[in-house]
């Protein structure tokens, strides 16, 4: 058992923290809005007064934050994680922030403090059930040391050296946005050609996007998209995909086109809805064109 600090108690971080408590680990928590820690404290966690205090108390510090700017804010400064972390503490960056942010964090580590990047694939239901897919980047001995703790959160996969976890997450996310764009445009085409929706879904079930069509059909038909992953956060993720590709001199016209749909949906006022609401935006936009 280890003492684990969780920094960031949003929808994902709070559920991951509960999993760690249930697994028997000592838990220290910090969140910008302290009230979010109350349920965890009632279950036995210790609330820290700052990220630095949380890091001082812990063997392992998990950050689960919204974006690179939030990570930088929490990590740096006199009350930041890096001010409190000392050897042999390990930081585990589990947010989706991209390889560049992981490299910046690595450059600022105090002597003797280790770092893994381990972003997750899955949403709140997977975080609650402990079935996240976790892409871990870092040296093999360090990864193996912390595999038992990460295993309480889901299925960790060591994908390479530091930064590889962040890269793997962007690769995975690039497919999510591309599939949504293809599915939405296919439905828009069916509408434009006069094909009834029920027939369109029957046709799509026989294609490579069949499983996604079946999964998304109830939401598309009802117009209700249960919030699992906010479209505003999806916008951040697709921006990271396109930016990382540009930095690596890789041309991704499909990803760039999928990003345009996400941006348009956010600008249409759907930023606080689930990211799959982009499907409704695509079909509504096509009908009004």
Q: How distant is the alpha carbon of residue 227 from its chain centre?
A: 14
Residue 75 CB-half CA count within 13 A? 25
**CA-to-CA separations, 144 to 63, 80, 86, 88, 150, in angstroms, rounded:** 19, 27, 20, 15, 10
Active site residue 236: no
List 36, 145, 169, 281, catalytic entry? 169
Residue 138 contacts residue 162 (beta carbons within 8 Å): yes
For every residue of the chain, which 3-state class applies, written as one string? CCEEEEECCCHHHHHHHHHHHHCCCEEEEECCCHHHHHHHHHCCCEECCCHHHHHHHCCEEEECCCCHHHHHHHHCCCCCHHHHCCCCCEEEECCCCCHHHHHHHHHCCCCCCEEEECCEECCHHHHHHCCEEEEEECCHHHHHHHHHHHCCCEEEEEEECCCHHHHHHHHHHHHHHHHHHHHHHHHHHHHHCCCCHHHHHHHHCCCCCHHHHHHHHHHHHHCCCCCCCEHHHHHHHHHHHHHHHHHCCCCCHHHHHHHHHHHHHHHHHHCCCEHHHHHHHHHHHHHHC
Just list the catalytic residues: 169
């Amino acid at each position: 058992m280890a003492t684990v600090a969780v920094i960031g108690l949003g929808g994902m971080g709070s559920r991951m923290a509960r999993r760690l408590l249930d697994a028997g680990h000592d838990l220290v928590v910090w969140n910008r809005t302290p009230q979010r820690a109350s349920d965890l404290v009632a279950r036995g966690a210790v609330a820290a007064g700052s990220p630095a205090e949380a890091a001082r108390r812990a063997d392992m510090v998990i950050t689960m934050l919204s974006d690179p700017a939030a990570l930088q804010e929490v990590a740096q400064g006199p009350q930041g994680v890096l001010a409190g972390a000392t050897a042999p503490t390990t930081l585990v960056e589990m947010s989706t922030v991209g390889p560049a942010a992981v490299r910046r964090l690595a450059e600022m580590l105090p002597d003797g403090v280790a770092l893994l990047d381990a972003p997750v694939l899955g949403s709140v239901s997977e975080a609650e059930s402990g079935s996240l897919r976790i892409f871990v980047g870092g040296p093999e001995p360090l990864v193996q040391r912390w595999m038992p703790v990460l295993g309480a959160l889901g299925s960790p996969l060591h994908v390479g050296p530091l930064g590889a976890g962040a890269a793997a997450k962007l690769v995975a996310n690039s497919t999510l946005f591309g599939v949504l764009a293809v599915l939405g445009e296919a439905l828009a085409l069916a509408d434009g050609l006069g094909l009834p929706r029920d027939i369109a879904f029957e046709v799509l079930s026989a294609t490579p996007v069949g499983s996604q069509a079946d999964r998304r059909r109830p939401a598309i038909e009802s117009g209700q998209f249960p919030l699992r992953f906010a479209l505003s956060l999806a916008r951040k993720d697709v921006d990271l995909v396109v930016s990382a590709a540009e930095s690596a001199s890789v041309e991704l016209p499909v990803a760039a086109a999928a990003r345009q749909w996400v941006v348009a949906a956010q600008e249409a006022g759907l930023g606080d809805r689930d990211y799959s609401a982009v499907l409704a935006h695509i079909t509504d936009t096509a009908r009004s064109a």
